[in-house]
Structure 1
Amino acid sequence: MRAILINHFQYLRRQPFAVIGMIVLTFVFALALGQVNQAEPVELPVFSTTLSEAEQAELIRALNSKAENTVFVSEKESAVKDKLEKGTIDMGLQLEQGSYKLYLSATTPNTTLIEAHVANVLQSERTLSDAAERLNASKDELSGKVEESSSLFAVSEKSFKESEFIYDSSLQALFGFSLFFVIFTVTYTVSTILEQKRNGMWNRLILSPLTKVQLYLGHVSFSFLLGYAQLALVFSFFHFVLGVDLKGGYPMILLVIIPFLFAIVSLGILISAIATNPRQLDAVIPLISVSMAMIGGAYWPLEIVQSEALLTLSKLIPMTYGMEMLKGATLLDWSLSQFLLPASVLFCMGVLFMGIGLNLMERKATV
């Protein structure tokens, strides 16, 4: 077994480019896609020709209090229109008494959302002003009473099938693409068994003092160690160098990836047993990897999937349980007992895949 490991490490030292490529791709995709929903707030200039500075400031404060990813700032009319003509800003807002105008230099995906937000806030302010005038009370006093009365009602917000859904785009991208690319690394490393059997190297190894158990164990151990090192390097780099917040789950992450890697190594054994030549592997491994990533929630969270058929199918995919445990170690703050079920499923999958794969390999060898 030691000889097999040494041989693999020597080959990796001479040809490290495939593993380095997978690590680099993980960095690129996790960094690029993890920042999609992390954009900085957009400033939207506001001006008025009839409102006083106090009235305009009050409306801007109301707009900013309920805005998401948009900051409303006061500017002069001439400056706003000049920026619109030059195209340095996409939109500008003119506020008047009971009305507004939205000037556009380009249509953006946020245009409709911003317009709806402005209309909603102005309608609320108009309603408060009318009510305050009729009740002979100040608008601030009436607004405070409305907020106080609304706190008497318990409001719970749920989404996606009425269950708790916590989402972090940066962690989703990091976990998803880390597991996705490690599948390539592990399965292609395990598939060297097939290449050795084709070129006759396997038969020469059998004639050596090594037993078949040691041969298989050497290949499996190296694939597992290589995959573990890749994931540990990626997570450590993002956590310690880039400062990605893993919610205190870094030590647990290094533990929960073990059952996932065991299942993937075993899956690599099964794929290598079914394939008859390297060309088939080159076609099958990407197909299986991409399918597992899509169905198992690597590209997007399974909570947004509505198809019951896909959700049922995802329960048969190791990726699903790997993503569950990584999120449980970080976002969901699972207890140790909550990891037992997905870890047990992955170990059972690994035993099943490896048992079938080794059986098929030995049957082919005797034919």
Structure 2
Amino acid sequence: MKSILWLSFIKLKRNSAPYLLMIGLTLMFSFVIGLQTQSSTREVAVVGEEHKVQRLIEQLRDQSSFTFYIEKEDEAQAALKKGRIGEYIVVSDDVTIITLSEEAELQALIPVVTNAAYQLKVEQQFNELANDIIGKPLSELEFDQIQLTTTPHNIESNIDFRYQALFGSCLFFIMYTLGYTVKEFLRMKRERIWDRYVFSPLSKSKIYGGFLTFSVIIGLIHIAIVLVVAQTIFGLDFSKTWLAIGITMMLYIIVSVGWLLLLVAFVQTDTQFDLFVSLLSVSMAMLGGAYWPLEIVTSDLLLTISNAVPLTHALESIKAVTMYEQSLEDIVPSLALLTFIGAVIITFGIQFVDKRMK
């Protein structure tokens, strides 16, 4: 097995450009998507009586994901009909969101506005109660040592969505990186190099073990370079999560190699292999949440299908420990599922490839 590894690294040294390209594309895509996610804010118009609108906007001033501004109702209606805005807020005795957007697009806005409206309602009731009891609104009373403060409940305010962009891009492009290593089986079959391996003193388990170990090492090197650059340049912190990330990525790499071995067993040429690798990686990325969070997907069918995609479990596990600060123990069920999928896929992949190479 050591000889297989040594030979594979010699070939990597001679032709390292494709691997470096995939690493560069991972960083570029994660930077572009992450920067867009970090800097994008939605503008939301607020209409109604001026003093009520001002009070609501004052409650919403700390929401970094949205920019609220005062607008006339007829102009907001016209903008909504023309598609320039997706929704606007009407403030009267109650607070109403007028929208043409899909429900998924409102998931971030609804809790923000609901919480602010609730805070205003509570403040109004306190003022009415204070006025009935002592003849003054609560806001006009002076307290020496008591201070009333309200903190808007914003669950996602401390979540860094750049992790989603980084690892989504990483899981997507690593399939191409592994494709370059697994495609070597096609070349060995075409040039009859595989026959030399078969008649060598090495057992097939050592031959396959050598190539699988090399693929895992290459994949982990890909991840390590991306994480080092992301931590150095983007300022992301992996000091407490590197073990969970490493285990998850190693299992995902094994699963990916299994899928690629199955492709090798059924395609005839390098061109066919490259085509199916692209189809497989793109479809898995779309269904697994690499391009967008699965939280915004409303189709039950797509969510059900995504549970059968290994990328889903890998990405959700990594997001759990990086974005939501969960521990390694919390993602053990997902890791166990990836282990099972990897064992099954690798077993079938090796069997089919072995038949193909004869």
TM-score band by shorter chain is 0.7 to 0.9
- In structure 2, relative to structure 1, the CA distance for the partners of 1:339 and 1:165 (3 Å cut) is farther
Aligned to 1:140: 139
Query: Which residue number corresponds to residue 235 of structure 2?
Result: 243
Q: How many residues align?
A: 315
Structure 1 residue 362 displacement after superposition: 2.4
Amino acid across the alignment from 2:230: F
What code does the residue aligned with 1:341 have?
A: P
Can you give the 5+ residue segments of structure 2 that lack an aligned partner in the other structure?
44-49, 96-115
Asked whether the equivalents of residues 35 and 169 of structure 1 are also in contact (C-alpha less than 8 Å), the reply is no
List runs of 5+ in structure 1 lacking aligned partners: 44-54, 73-91, 159-163
Matches within 5 A, 1:147-186: 168-186=160-178
TM-score, L = length of structure 1 = 0.71
1:340, distance to aligned residue in structure 2 (A): 2.2
CA deviation vs aligned residue, 1:114-158 (integer Å, no higher than 9, x gap): x7489979xx79x97x979x976357338x9xx97999xxx9999
For residues 253-268 of structure 1, the aligned pairs below 5 Å read 253-268=245-260
Task: Give a deviation string over 1:291-317, Cα, whole Å, max 9, x none.
Answer: 001111111122222222212211211
Map of 1:272-287 to 2, 5 A cutoff? 272-287=264-279
Letter in 2 for 1:328: A
Cα deviation for residue 229 of structure 1 reads 0.7
SS at match of 2:38: coil
Per the alignment, in what secondary structure is the counterpart of residue 36 of structure 1?
A: helix
Query: Relative to structure 1, is the Cα distance of residues 338 and 204 closer, same or farther in structure 2, using a 3 angstrom cutoff?
Result: same
Is 1:329 aligned to residue 321 of structure 2?
yes
Q: CA deviation at 1:178?
A: 0.6
Structure number with larger C-alpha Rg: 1
Query: Equivalents in 1 of 2:67, 2:237: separation in Å?
Result: 26
1:19 and 1:185 in contact (8 A); partners too: yes
| Contact 2:254-2:346 at 8 Å conserved across structures | no
Q: In structure 2, how many angstroms separate the alpha carbons of the residues matched to 1:296 and 1:112?
A: 27
Deviation at 1:196, TM superposition (A): 0.7
Which position in structure 2 is the counterpart of 1:31? 31
Give CA-to-partner distance per residue, 1:99-118, whole Å, 9 cap, x none.
89999xx99998676x7489
The residue that corresponds to 2:46 in the other structure is none
1:355 paired with 2:354, answer: no
Corresponding residue number in structure 2 for 1:80: none
CA contact (8 A) 1:36 1:169 kept: no
- 1:188 matched residue in structure 2: 180
Aligned residue number for residue 112 of structure 2: none
For 1:293-312, list aligned pairs within 5 A. 293-312=285-304
The CA RMSD measured in Å over matched residues stands at: 4.3
Matched, 1:17 2:17: yes
Letter in 2 for 1:210: L
User: What residue number does 2:103 align with?
Assistant: none
Determine if the alignment matches structure 1 residue 66 to structure 2 residue 60. yes
**TM-score normalised to structure 2 length:** 0.72
Matches of 1:287 and 1:165 in 2, distance apart? 36
In structure 2, what is the Cα distance between the partners aligned to 1:286 and 1:343? 25
Q: Offset of 1:246 from its aligned partner?
A: 4.5
8 A contact 2:198–2:204 mirrored in 1: yes
